[in-house]
């Protein structure tokens, strides 16, 4: 082949390759333009314009008196679009310095000159979404809208406001775990789940409302800016819930529990205060030690299922009373306070002092005798344990409360034949071991005793409202119409009063009302050491109600692992109960006996001072006190009490003779003595008790008289 032909062949091959490449490119362009063009345009539009979610205003959570417990507080970002077509140089240059001064005055974070310099630089660069200030609250935003340039709005002033919300609790730690929260969490696979805690989580669907949507456009620099009037859907606010929580009593319970936890250096504790007839939770506190302080980290009242100890003796004794195996006057021989059942030894607190000996069933409860309880139950039910457990189940102790708050602990009461049932189960259950209940489940049972046997479900929320309009009312829910018969209930209430009057909780007597309840001291099971040996720890509790004669409120206090060598329920948990009960009673007029005017009698007339006639008569008349007076009374009178009236008698005054000033008030005594020319020295206050110059003695002008009053101030 000649060189010429070879060159032509090579050039032709190059041209052919270029032609084929051009055909491929053209084909791709045709496909992109006419076949896939619309889909790519849509993708481009979606990259530039998107629907953004507008969150709804989450409903508020209120206390029983409509004080806020949780609310969404809006915060705003303030930005400026310096390329806004109507924001002219004339407007900007004329008002920027004034705007800078207002911003500096409001936020006090930068000088006016610095604000002005930053705004001018952003204007010069033509920034489309310049951040002026973040975390602006609503009141600040209202002021911002009136500032120079900003008051011209978005198109003439270039100002853009975007909002975000933050859930806040005005009372901070108070009932924080019960009020709760919602939080989105991402698992290891990237899946997002919503964590629901407390009431905020339980009523999430009610509180959340409906989201809105807004079209936004992507600007240079990756900043998104809203497009007004295009496909915007307004959000709908969520409804609010009205809880049963009393903020004042919540505060009292929180402080009382925290103080006792600190005093005992305990691990954690819980308090619940409940209204007897409705089951309304008026206060609920859960505090756990973290470092040197205590915080609400877990809802122990709802979720912590533990062995209740001696507080469980009451449902046990009710079972025995209902089935007629004992009565409160029966005698139990607790001997020296020691009782062996198979391989366990049961002891009373009195064991080291020789035991209680023979005591009545009522005293078994009052003294909290483990031996007495074990003997009663093993003696009666050793051959028929199912009857014992069935009666406990009949009182709804095995059933969860099905609370609106998530995370309730499951009750555990073993049944004969279960894997955990053994020969010692009856004896252990008799004084609160081998069973598990949460503090709120125990309180609900004791509340039923206070409520004439009717067990009601604990209620945390009374109403749902939307913009003030009631949408739903939650009625009182009955769990069990009667946990036991009336005669049994009467006996149990007598025993619970006896616990406080002359039993293990004698230190909890209140001055103006009676408390009924039961102490509990439980040795906590340790996975390493079991119930004995090693590092022992205890749980102290007290549960009861007040006033005992006509119960209005029930309350439970549980304190876990006190470490100051004091662990009994009456000494650790009891004082918290008493402080709460006293505060609630003192602030609840409906708990206090009203004054019956028919029973108010004036047994005798009050003491009154002698003095000037007209003033004395006027004072007695205004006080509604009957007056008996001699005829032709002198200007100065003596007063004398006489059953239901005051008698006025003449008091003679003779010139140059010392008058009788005894029983007079200081004002009248000074008037008389100084009118007679005497110099008076007064010692004390009140009425005249004695005078240094005897009445009837001759006196001269300038003579000194010392008046000793009824109250002498001591240094």
Are 135 and 224 found together in one domain? yes
Alpha-carbon span 516 to 505, nearest angstrom: 9
Give yes or no for residue 645 having a pLDDT over 60.
yes
Choice between 256 and 40, residue whose per-residue pLDDT is larger: 256
Are 255 and 365 found together in one domain? yes
Are 225 and 254 found together in one domain? no
Query: What ranges make up the beta strands (E) of 291-354?
Result: 293-295, 331-333, 338-341, 344-347
Predicted local confidence at residue 64, as pLDDT: 94
Residue whose C-alpha is closest to residue 579's, from 174, 254, 280, 172: 254
Sign of the C-alpha dihedral computed for residues 39, 44, 47 and 49 taken in this order? negative
Are 537 and 617 found together in one domain? no
Q: Which tokens go with 513? A: 């009302």
Predicted local confidence at residue 178, as pLDDT: 92
Residue whose C-alpha is closest to residue 556's, from 443, 689, 419, 392: 443
Tokens 């409001």: give the residue: 106
Are 108 and 216 found together in one domain? yes
Alpha-carbon span 405 to 148, nearest angstrom: 50
Domain-located, residue 40: no
β-bridge partners, 268: 288, 560
In three-state secondary structure terms, 455 is strand
User: pLDDT tens across 147-193, in order?
Assistant: 999 898 887 888 888 777 788 888 888 888 899 888 877 777 777 77
Choice between 508 and 614, residue whose per-residue pLDDT is larger: 508
Q: What is the pLDDT averaged over residues 547-554?
A: 96
DSSP 558-609: EEE---SS---HHHHTHHHHHHHHHHHHHT-GGGSPPP-GGG----SPPP--
Confidence class for position 57, pLDDT limits 50, 70, 90: confident
Are 673 and 576 found together in one domain? no
Tokens 């099971």: give the residue: 525
3-state secondary structure 368-426: CCHHHHHHHHHHHHCCCHHHHHHHHHHCCCCCCCCCCCCCCCCCEECCCCCCCCCCCHH
User: pLDDT tens across 77-127, in order?
Assistant: 889 888 887 888 888 899 989 999 999 999 999 899 999 999 999 888 888
| Beta strand pairing call for 159-168 and 68-80 | antiparallel
Are 574 and 678 found together in one domain? no
Q: What is the pLDDT averaged over residues 507-529?
A: 82
Confidence class for position 597, pLDDT limits 50, 70, 90: very low
| Beta strand pairing call for 704-711 and 478-480 | unpaired
Predicted local confidence at residue 268, as pLDDT: 96
Alpha-carbon span 456 to 476, nearest angstrom: 7
- Residue 226's CB is within 10 A of a number of other CB atoms, namely 17
| Coarse DSSP helix, strand, coil percentages of the chain, rounded to the nearest 5 percent | 35, 30, 35
Query: 547: cis peptide before it, omega within 30°?
Result: yes
- Given 213, 242, 271, the domain boundary residue is 242
**8-state DSSP, 34:** I
Query: What is the total count of domains within the chain?
Result: 4
Alpha-carbon span 644 to 248, nearest angstrom: 45
β-bridge partners, 516: 545
Predicted local confidence at residue 264, as pLDDT: 94
Domain-located, residue 41: no
Are 31 and 69 found together in one domain? no
Domain-located, residue 360: yes
Tell me the range of 328-342, 651-665, 696-710 where mean pLDDT is highest: 328-342
Confidence class for position 497, pLDDT limits 50, 70, 90: very high
Are 215 and 184 found together in one domain? yes
User: pLDDT tens across 371-384, in order?
Assistant: 999 999 999 999 99
Give yes or no for residue 345 having a pLDDT over 70.
yes
Predicted local confidence at residue 50, as pLDDT: 66
Domain-located, residue 200: yes
What CATH number is given to the structural domain containing 208? 3.90.1310.10
| Beta strand pairing call for 645-650 and 626-629 | parallel
Predicted local confidence at residue 175, as pLDDT: 87
Are 98 and 21 found together in one domain? no
Question: Length of the chain, please?
Answer: 715
User: pLDDT tens across 120-145, in order?
Assistant: 998 888 887 888 998 888 888 889 88
**441: containing domain:** 248-591
Q: Which tokens go with 46? A: 């979606």
Are 194 and 69 found together in one domain? yes
Q: Which tokens go with 324? A: 């007629």
Domain-located, residue 448: yes
66 Cβ contact list (under 8 Å, min separation 6): 242
Q: Distances in Å between the alpha carbon of 154 and those of 99, 240, 647?
A: 15, 33, 88
What CATH number is given to the structural domain containing 658? 3.30.10.20
Contacts 24+ apart (CB under 8 A), 528-536: none
Q: Which tokens go with 18? A: 């270029």
Are 252 and 338 found together in one domain? yes
3-state secondary structure 193-251: EEEEEHHHHHCHHHHHCECEEEEEEECCCCCEEECCCCCCECCECCCEEEECCCHHHHH
């Amino acid at each position: 082949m000649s060189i010429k032909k070879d060159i032509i062949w090579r050039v032709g091959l190059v041209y052919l390759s270029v032609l084929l490449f051009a055909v491929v490119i053209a084909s791709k362009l045709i496909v992109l333009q006419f076949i896939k063009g619309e889909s790519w345009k849509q993708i481009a539009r979606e990259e530039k314009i998107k629907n953004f979610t507008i969150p709804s205003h989450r409903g508020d959570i209120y206390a029983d008196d409509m004080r806020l417990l949780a609310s969404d507080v809006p915060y705003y970002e303030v930005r400026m679009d310096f390329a806004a077509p109507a924001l002219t140089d004339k407007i900007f240059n004329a008002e920027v310095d004034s705007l800078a001064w207002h911003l500096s005055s409001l936020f006090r974070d930068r000088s006016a000159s610095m604000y002005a310099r930053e705004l001018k630089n952003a204007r010069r660069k033509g920034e489309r979404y310049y951040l002026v200030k973040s975390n602006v609250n609503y009141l600040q935003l209202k002021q911002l809208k009136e500032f120079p340039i900003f008051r011209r709005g978005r198109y003439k002033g270039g100002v853009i406001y975007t909002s975000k919300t933050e859930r806040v609790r005005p009372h901070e730690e108070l009932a924080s775990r019960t009020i709760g929260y919602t939080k989105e969490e991402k698992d290891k696979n990237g899946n997002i789940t919503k964590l629901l805690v407390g009431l905020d989580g339980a009523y999430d669907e009610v509180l959340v409302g409906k989201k809105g949507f807004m079209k936004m456009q992507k600007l240079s620099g990756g900043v998104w800016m809203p497009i007004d009037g295009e496909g915007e859907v307004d959000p709908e606010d969520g409804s609010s819930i009205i809880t049963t929580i009393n903020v004042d009593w919540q505060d009292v319970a929180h402080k009382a529990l925290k103080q006792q936890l600190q005093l005992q250096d305990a691990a954690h504790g819980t308090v619940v205060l409940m209204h007897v007839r409705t089951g309304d939770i008026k206060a609920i506190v859960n505090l756990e030690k973290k470092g040197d302080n205590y915080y609400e980290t877990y809802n122990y009242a709802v979720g912590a299922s533990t062995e209740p100890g001696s507080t469980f003796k009451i449902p046990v004794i009710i079972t025995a009373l209902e089935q007629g195996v004992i009565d409160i006057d029966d005698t139990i021989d607790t001997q020296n306070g020691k009782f062996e059942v198979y391989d366990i030894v049961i002891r009373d607190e009195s064991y080291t002092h020789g035991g209680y000996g023979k005591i009545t069933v009522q005293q078994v409860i009052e003294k909290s005798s483990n031996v007495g309880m074990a003997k009663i139950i093993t003696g009666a039910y050793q051959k028929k344990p199912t009857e014992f457990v069935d009666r406990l189940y009949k009182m709804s102790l095995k059933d969860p409360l099905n609370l609106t708050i998530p995370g309730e602990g499951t009750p555990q009461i073993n049944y004969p034949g279960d894997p955990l049932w053994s020969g010692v189960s009856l004896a252990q259950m008799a004084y609160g071991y081998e069973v598990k209940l949460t503090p709120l489940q125990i309180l609900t049972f004791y509340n039923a005793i206070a409520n004439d046997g009717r067990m009601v479900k604990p209620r945390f929320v009374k109403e749902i409202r939307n913009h003030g309009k009631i949408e739903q009312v939650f009625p009182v829910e009955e769990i069990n119409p009667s946990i036991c018969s009336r005669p049994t209930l009467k006996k149990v209430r007598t025993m619970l009063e006896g616990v406080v009057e002359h039993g293990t909780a004698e230190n909890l007597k209140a001055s103006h009302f009676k408390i009924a309840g039961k102490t509990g001291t439980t040795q906590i099971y340790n996975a390493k050491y079991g119930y004995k040996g090693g590092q022992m720890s205890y749980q102290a509790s007290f549960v009861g109600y007040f006033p005992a004669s006509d119960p209005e409120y029930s309350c439970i206090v549980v304190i876990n692992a006190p470490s100051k060598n004091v662990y009994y329920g009456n000494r650790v948990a009891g004082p918290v109960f008493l402080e709460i009960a006293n505060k609630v009673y003192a602030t609840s007029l409906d708990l206090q006996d009203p004054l019956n005017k028919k029973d108010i009698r004036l047994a005798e007339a009050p003491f009154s001072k002698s003095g000037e006639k007209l003033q004395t008569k006027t004072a007695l008349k205004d006080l509604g006190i009957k007056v008996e007076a001699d005829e032709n009374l002198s200007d100065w009178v003596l007063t004398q009490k006489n059953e239901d009236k005051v008698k006025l008698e003449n008091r003679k005054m003779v010139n140059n003779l010392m008058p009788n000033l005894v029983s007079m008030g200081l004002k009248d005594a000074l008037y008389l003595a100084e009118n007679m020319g005497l110099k008076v020295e007064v010692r004390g206050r009140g009425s005249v008790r004695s005078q240094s110059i005897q009445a009837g003695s001759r006196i001269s002008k300038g003579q000194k008289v010392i008046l000793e009053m009824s109250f002498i101030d001591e240094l």
